[in-house]
Amino acid sequence: MDSLDLAKRDMTVVYGDRTFALRAYRDAQQWHGIIIENRTPIRHGLAPAADPATCFAAAVGFLAATVDAAGEPRGVTR
């Protein structure tokens, strides 16, 4: 039986007037991402990453593209 790996990293992103919580968690030697806005998980098709920084970069890129497509104001902080 494999040992349980509970590694995770959290990050908050403000883009335009919207705030998102990002979580990267490790499962089976890969990092997976969760994106949440207002307690609602947002579906994405992001592939697992080798490290949490790559996972967060992909999630922020996804958020920027999604918010920009919706016509929201630009700008990333935090």
Length reported for the chain: 78
* CB of 60 closer than 8 Å to CB of 76: yes
The closest alpha carbon to 4, from 30, 34, 24, 26, belongs to 26
The rounded distance, in Å, linking the Cα atoms of 46 and 71 is 22
pLDDT in tens, 37-73: 999 999 999 999 999 999 999 999 999 999 888 885 5
Band of residue 1 on the pLDDT scale cut at 50, 70, 90:
very low
- Residue 22 in this model has a pLDDT that exceeds 60: yes
Average confidence (pLDDT) over 9-20: 92
Burial of 59 (0-12, 13-18, 19+ CB in 10 A): buried
pLDDT of residue 71: 80
Residue ranges per domain, the chain?
Answer: 8-72
